[in-house]
Amino acid sequence: MVFNQQSIIINPIDVARRDKIITTRNPTIFLSIILAIFTTLVLNPGYSFAIDILSEKNLIENEEIPWEITAKTLSYDEKKGIYVAEGDVVISKENQFLYAQKAVYNMKTGIAKVSGHVRLEAGADVVTGESGLFDLKTKTGEIVNGSLFLKKNNFYLSGSVLKKVAEDTYVVKDASVTTCDGDDPDWSFTGSEVKVTVEGYGTIKHSSFRIRGVPILYMPYMIFPAKTKRQTGLLPPRAGYSTLNGGDFELPFFWAISDQTDATLYSRFMTHRGYMQGAEFRYLADESSKGVLQFDILSDRRASKNMTDPDQLEISPFARTNQTRYWLRGRSDQNLIGGLIARLDADLVSDQDYLREFEEKLFGYQARTNLEQESKRPFYEMRSPTRRSALRLSRDGEGYSLQGLASYYQEAGDPAEQDDMSQPLAGLDLTFLPDQFGQLPVFYSLNSDYNYVWQKEGSKGHDFTLSPEINFPLWFGPYVQFEPSFRYLYNAQWINDSQDNRNRQNRGLYEAKARLATNSQRIFDFDWGNVKKLKHKISPIFRYTYQGGQGDEDDIPWFTPIDEEIGSGETKNQVSFSLENFLDARLEDKKGRVTYNRWVFFKLEQSYDIHEERQDETPDNKKKPLNPLLAELVVTPFSGLDLRGNTKWDHYDHAFSDVTLSGRFSVPRSGRRRDIYEVDYIYGKDRQKDLSVLADLNLAYGFSIGGSLKRDMDQGRNISTSGWAGYQSQCWGLKLGVERDNWNTSVMVVFKLVGLGETGVW
């Protein structure tokens, strides 16, 4: 039986509803079966090394979509039970196409054959071969002289024979893998035979890494995991050298504990320091319940610190006598029963020098999870002498917030000061959110907190604060807002001093505030790219604050900021005026969708201390009622530019007392690369003066250079300097870098194979 039509469309679901005889007589069914088996063979997850890409469900499996088949002739031999399609065979479904010169299916044996320039296109991915043979009964088959190309990571796999020999088991003869274009790739991995079992392991015989076809590294036999799920096993090692730690080698081991938990164990050996063991534990219960805990410990060969060595003193000015050195840190967020939410921050270190000597840097080459990014909570800077660990339990209701907090501060810089540090070991905070008095324009709120504060040497005791507040927001027309508010703060403390003497003290603070604000704005027509309009808004704001305290000025409150505010014993009577400017852009894309972007924010604020002006002036104490003029600027006109700055001008010294400037500018380049320029400047009168600059530039022909500098402007010396140069081709890259700080020099060499990751030494 011969069908001369040039094309035919068939829906597999409609065919399946017919009786068996009608279904088997349709000459297009076997072609859909051939295509499905062909796809199962060459696009099965685990078959190639790109497991994560191939694990997505293929569109061919969607039975709702009909097939379209064209060929010069379509025939069926009813006696032999054989279907044949010949001449420019094309089988298509959505964005998937199978091309061949001939396709044959034997109903009795279940054998399907395709031949003649076989080519399967699934989106941008392509499989080619001379011919293919599939056994539908055993679900096995092979492709002769086949190759696979995956567009997502430019992945090429080829072999003289691609076979499926059993369920979830595949064999590739004369295999070659690369991400390089062209017939003569810059690099490739080859093997005489690759055998893979999905959710199991794979083996490679006579494996070699080749550069331009020349074998560089040879292994007679290799075993690798071939699982779509996380797999317990060794991770790529790291090796390097630094003047501080000597030769450095680390071998990580990944442990897939369960679907929700895993861990990485680190074994690190440093020729100058000894053997360091590390662990990172991770869990994920749901999107909002997750955590990371990290721990490293070392028995240092340098049992104590040489305080006569200038390089050692550059690390920190503190002595170190401990040989056992460690760092425990972690972040955890956990939803509990009854609407409770737990937040854990852990940060304990054996000594301040540890954080600097073993800090992970080297141009972003980070082996551990970034805890600040993971938890969205700030993490203490490496050079901070104080570390904080805390546990917070909270429950938020419709009109209240209840929080319990326990925290511990570690003085890592100078351990001798640890005994004198006040520790808020336990606390409770209850806040009633602003609520309205009936229909009146009056709002009230209440904040209260309790803390038990402990010191090893010094006072211990209880601290209680109660703070009710009332607000009266009023509008005078559409442009003027006036909001007075009143607050009373009461603080009581029950203290046991170092001689176990008990003392009770209390203080109060009255506070009255008023805020008067207005704004005016104007919209300008603007036509620049997608920007169609600009809105400039200016908001003058007048504020007045009066504070008056009561209590014994000889009493010395301690620890909490509110105590310092109440215990100052001074009246605060201050007015301030600020001018805030906003420049917002209205953007419209080609589809008419509207978005808004704040281009510029600029603020000036000046305050005047009335209480200071009313004080008597002495030769040693000149009156200074004018507080420093504050200026703040933020410029973000597009994603590649971010400029920020703030400063304070002292009217009496006629100089800037504080300046902070930061800028980041990035320029998109080809190949999804970007040129990056960064600058940060911090100035404090009689305090810190630091400058940091960084530039990373992409040059022509794949070359790039960069460098960074951190300089202490006050002392006139560099904190650290670094420079690097790199080359990136289509499928590989090389980066060389050197970093020098005051006590250590590190060298980095990283070799990257595009699509397969990177490795190197530093």
Q: What is the pLDDT of residue 228?
A: 57
Q: What is the pLDDT of residue 111?
A: 84
Question: Which of 535-544, 609-618, 621-630, 701-710 has the lowest average pLDDT?
Answer: 609-618
State the Cα–Cα distance between residues 499 and 171, nearest whole angstrom: 80
Statement: residue 107 has pLDDT above 50: yes
**3-class DSSP string for 106-154:** ECCCCEEEEEEEEEEEECCEEEEEEEEEEECCCCEEEEEEEEEEECCCC
Three-class secondary structure of residue 449 per DSSP: strand
Percent of the chain with pLDDT over 70: 83
Q: What is the pLDDT of residue 641?
A: 95
> Is the model more confident about 570 or about 677?
677
Is the pTM of the predicted complex or chain greater than 0.95? no
Statement: residue 617 has pLDDT above 60: yes
723-754 tens-digit pLDDT:
999 998 888 888 888 888 777 788 777 777 77
- Please state the rounded mean pLDDT for residues 252-258: 88
Q: What is the pLDDT of residue 676?
A: 95
At 552, the pLDDT band (50, 70, 90 cuts) reads low
CA 724 to chain centre: 24
- Please state the rounded mean pLDDT for residues 425-441: 92
Three-class secondary structure of residue 34 per DSSP: helix
CA atoms within 13 A on the CB side of 195: 9
State the Cα–Cα distance between residues 169 and 348, nearest whole angstrom: 49
Phi-psi sector, 61: left (phi>0), alpha (psi -120 to 50), beta: alpha
What's the whole-number average pLDDT of the chain?
Answer: 81
- Please state the rounded mean pLDDT for residues 101-108: 86
Percent of the chain with pLDDT over 90: 36
Three-class secondary structure of residue 517 per DSSP: strand
Measure the N-to-C terminal CA separation of the chain; round to a whole number of Å.
Answer: 71
**Residue whose pair of structure tokens reads 């009146």 in the numeric block:** 440
State the Cα–Cα distance between residues 739 and 746, nearest whole angstrom: 5
At 444, the pLDDT band (50, 70, 90 cuts) reads very high
> Is the model more confident about 324 or about 76?
324
Q: What is the pLDDT of residue 30?
A: 41
Statement: residue 48 has pLDDT above 90: no
Q: What is the pLDDT of residue 330?
A: 94
Statement: residue 567 has pLDDT above 90: no
- Please state the rounded mean pLDDT for residues 254-268: 90
Q: What is the pLDDT of residue 513?
A: 96
Q: What is the pLDDT of residue 327?
A: 93
330-354 tens-digit pLDDT:
999 999 998 899 999 999 999 888 8
Question: Which of 241-250, 285-294, 460-469 has the lowest average pLDDT?
Answer: 241-250
- Please state the rounded mean pLDDT for residues 475-495: 89
Q: What is the pLDDT of residue 744?
A: 78
Mean pLDDT comparison of 186-195, 426-435, 590-599, highest-scoring range: 426-435
At 286, the pLDDT band (50, 70, 90 cuts) reads confident
Are 187 and 209 in contact, with CB atoms under 8 Å apart? yes
At 226, the pLDDT band (50, 70, 90 cuts) reads low
345-394 tens-digit pLDDT:
999 999 888 887 886 554 333 467 888 888 888 877 777 778 999 999 99
> Is the model more confident about 141 or about 624?
624
The CATH fold assigned to 2-164 is lipopolysaccharide transport protein A fold (2.60.450)
141-156 tens-digit pLDDT:
888 998 888 777 677 8
Q: What is the pLDDT of residue 543?
A: 97
Instruction: Supply angle C-alpha 188, 191, 195, rounded to 5.
Output: 125
Q: What is the pLDDT of residue 57?
A: 37
Question: Which of 33-37, 53-57, 128-132, 180-184 has the lowest average pLDDT?
Answer: 53-57
CATH code 2.60.450.10 region(s) in the chain: 2-164
> Is the model more confident about 6 or about 403?
403
Statement: residue 320 has pLDDT above 50: yes
Statement: residue 55 has pLDDT above 70: no
Statement: residue 45 has pLDDT above 90: no
Question: Which of 192-201, 641-650, 655-664 has the lowest average pLDDT?
Answer: 192-201
Are 251 and 277 in contact, with CB atoms under 8 Å apart? no
Q: What is the pLDDT of residue 177?
A: 83
Question: Which of 113-127, 420-434, 670-684 has the lowest average pLDDT?
Answer: 113-127
Strand ranges (DSSP E) for 551-654? 572-588, 594-609, 629-635, 641-650
Q: What is the pLDDT of residue 33?
A: 43
> Is the model more confident about 554 or about 126?
126
Q: What is the pLDDT of residue 498?
A: 67
Statement: residue 32 has pLDDT above 90: no
- Please state the rounded mean pLDDT for residues 459-479: 89
> Is the model more confident about 45 or about 490?
490
C-alpha dihedral, 199 to 205 to 206 to 210, nearest 10°: -30
Three-class secondary structure of residue 466 per DSSP: strand
State the Cα–Cα distance between residues 740 and 244, nearest whole angstrom: 11
**Cross-strand pairs, 10:** 67
